[in-house]
Structures are given as structure tokens and as C-alpha cells.
Amino acid sequence: MLIPIYEKTDKGRKEIEGRVYGLSAKGRRVLILVDAQKTEVDLSVAAGVGKEIQPLLKLLLDGGFIAPRDAQTTQASKAPAPVVAESASPSPFMPRPKRTEYPPEDIALVKKIILDTIDEYLGLLGADIRRRVEASNDFNSIINCIARWNLAMRESKLAKPVAGYYLQKVQAILD
């Protein structure tokens, strides 16, 4: 299966550093996650944008913020066709088959991990996520919280080194 892979351009890196071009919050979130390794599906799951990923990637491509991996990034006015890579193994960000039911104990454990890491690593920056987690009582609402929490953890200088570890703990509980 052929999968497009994108990387940031100089313009994309400039936007991340200084918010100079005024991207939308979702567009910026996707731009931050583009790393020349994630596929469209990986980006969709990691950013929590679902089917909106295609128009967001098109916006970033057309705006010159990202380019297909291994392509010349000097052509900002014309979005070249994406370079594709063979997918040899499933991505860690690929959605797994979902269980039909999740025990309340599992949801409570996930909430505890998220709330503890918010306290330890995010502080006030995690206040909105904390409020959402505390209000969530079912699997669908906690999944939305996990996406926001994971993004915040990966954007935090303090939490970034441990973000993957805690996400794996949460995924192990929900598998």
C-alpha cells in the first residue's frame, strides 16, 4: 500500500516558531505533528481531526508549510505530488480494533494517569484538558481527552520526553 509522507518546509518551521502566518488551531496542530515519518492516518489520529485531515493537509501543502518527503521545498507556489513510501509494518498510530465495552475501572485508570500527568507536567496549561477529563464518563469522551492530552504533552518541553511512555500505558489499558 502506498502512503504519502510529508515534511515541514522552512515556512512551516517559521510558523511553528513565531505564529507568523496565522494558521488555524487545527492547521497548526497538524503542522506541528508533521515529521517526515507520520502518514496521513497517523496525523489524523495524533491530531484528533478525523476526516478533516485531507483539507488540512491540502491547506498546508498549498500554503507551502509542508512538502512531500524528499521533494525540493523551493517550489512553494506549486504543491507537488506526494512522495509515497511502502508501509512494511502497521504504524503505532493506526487505529486498533475497538472493544465493544470498557469497564469503568479501565476508564477510571486512564483518567487517573491523565490527571496525574497534567498535575506533574502541564500545570495550568492542562486546566482545560483536566476539566474535560473530569467531566468524561464514557469511552468516546475519554478518547477525545486522550488526543488533546497527548498533543499537549508532546508540545510541552517538560513532558515531551515522557509523553510516549504515558501514551503507551494508556493504550495498554484500552487494548
* Per-residue confidence (pLDDT) for residue 87, from 0 to 100: 45
DSSP string, 105-169: HHHHHHHHHHHHHIIIIIGGGGHHHHHHHHH--SHHHHHHHHHHHHHHHHH-TTTHHHHHHHHHH
Q: Are residues 82 and 118 in the same domain?
A: no
- Of 86, 120, 146, the domain-final residue: 86
Q: Are residues 8 and 39 in the same domain?
A: yes
* Per-residue confidence (pLDDT) for residue 39, from 0 to 100: 87
| Tens digit of each residue's pLDDT (9 = 90 or more) over 99-152 | 557 788 888 888 999 999 999 999 888 999 999 999 988 888 888 899 999 999
Cut 0.85: pTM above it: no
> Is 84 a residue whose pLDDT tops 60?
no
| Tens digit of each residue's pLDDT (9 = 90 or more) over 50-61 | 888 899 999 999
Q: Are residues 131 and 62 in the same domain?
A: no
